[in-house]
A and B are shown apart, each in its own frame.
Chain A
């Protein structure tokens, strides 16, 4: 129950930051700052995918309502990422290396593996997001460029936020 409130509070705070700060930073169509994906990446290694899907759908829908004009866009992308997250984590860790309650971060995975994990997650998320948003093949190369550029920017943002706020040994996230 305590866990639930922790995640719920985190969801609210990240949504507020996304809606009031990162949605307001408009650098053009190629760079879309999208910090809320961090919420999905922050769950512990052993967190059950069923609950993860529910949380991902919730944050996606909240972002849809607060930010874009198109409902379902972020929800779809977040749910796709949540489904694939356990497999991604399996790729970057050795079995038994980290505890089930630990969270993926710089302190548990190290810089290289964590950046790779975030980058691949963001590529999946943005591919679904921008794919749905355009929904036509005539903009294919542009869409790919948008996916790669935005993913690069957001990897940097998310790694920085994780390193500064959520990287404690015994913080409120452990």
Chain B
């Protein structure tokens, strides 16, 4: 009699404890963005930025060769671009550019989740704000989510949280590109109209409709199209950017973002 009563009490305690822990876990998940602002998490994240930085310092050492090669290639490409411009025209006045870049190093990068993210080593001190775009040398990387003093957290393009507004050249069709969750170098544009002229081999570039990314950043190549649900044309895209070997990225600062945002918010 006693033992049965005791085991009943024990079972209740177990279930209660389980419920409490589950509630805490769910609360943490639901209030993630709020909690991340809180002091304790900021303290924790400072701790693991420290760890990641150390890890990265060792890591970078082993990748010096490849990084150097990539940088040299990028330099070469930029230099040829520059020569082209120099030979064509001399600008009458200083060029007025809407966008400017802040270069940053990737401190932490995940690719094995369905909500991948990156941490970069520039933050609010360097002028980074939430919702800025981030590009790599071969395409879009993601969008800034949280900004700390010296670090920022970026939602990766390889995440089911973001879509990028794109244009398919040379046809000119507009669609939003999203990751398909399967491989880290493929994505899809699921909502093209059926009559759009998309062919295998077309280049996908950013449309420039949002103030997050400038127009005409190459993203990838169309590798196939299928008709989904009888109404839409879905284009499979092979991305140029290799997310596994990402080292350096550029955060894009738009001078007119605030102005356009205000226009959109005002009635």
Contact = CB atoms under 8 A, between A and B. Distances in A.
Interface of A: 20, 23-24, 26-32, 48-50, 53-54, 56-57, 60, 64-66, 68-73, 75-76, 79-80, 82-83, 130, 132-134, 136, 139, 142-143, 146
Given A68-B110, A69-B153, 6 more contacts: A32-B113, A50-B14, A65-B44, A72-B29, A82-B18, A146-B114
A152 to B, nearest CB: 15
B18 A20 contact: no
A24 B115 CA distance: 16
A84 to B, nearest CB: 10
Given A50-B13, A53-B17, A133-B115, A76 B181 contact: no
Contacts of A66: 48
B22 A79 contact: yes
B12 to A, nearest CB: 11
Contact of B114 (A24, A53, A83, A134): A134
B44 A72 contact: no
B27 interface: yes
A79 B19 CA distance: 9
Interface string B117-138: 1000000000000000000000
B14 A72 contact: no
Contact of B18 (A53, A60, A134): A53
Given A72-B25, A79-B18, A32 B160 contact: no
B176 to A, nearest CB: 15
A72 B153 contact: no
A70 B181 CA distance: 18
B25 A68 contact: no
B183 A75 contact: no
B25 A134 contact: no
B22 A76 contact: yes
Contacts of B182: 29-30, 142
Size bracket, chain B contacts: 20 to 34
Interface in B24-73: 24-29, 32, 35, 41, 44, 48, 55
A70 B45 CA distance: 12
Going nearest first, the 9 A-B pairs with the smallest beta carbon separation are A72-B28, A76-B25, A72-B25, A72-B29, A71-B28, A75-B25, A26-B112, A79-B21, A49-B14
Nearest to B119: A69
B244 A26 contact: yes
A23 B182 CA distance: 19
Contacts of A23: 110
B184 interface: yes
A73 B29 contact: yes
Contact of B26 (A56, A76, A136, A142): A76
B103 interface: no
Given A49-B14, A70-B32, A71-B29, A29 B112 contact: yes
A139 B24 CA distance: 26
Contacts of B153: 69
B169 to A, nearest CB: 29
A133 B37 CA distance: 21
Given A20-B55, A133-B113, A76 B17 contact: no
Contacts of A134: 114, 160
Nearest to B110: A26
B111 interface: yes
Given A29-B112, A60-B25, A72-B27, A136 B48 contact: no
Given A65-B48, A66-B48, A79 B25 contact: yes
Interface string B90-121: 00000000000000000000111111010000
Contacts of A142: 181-182
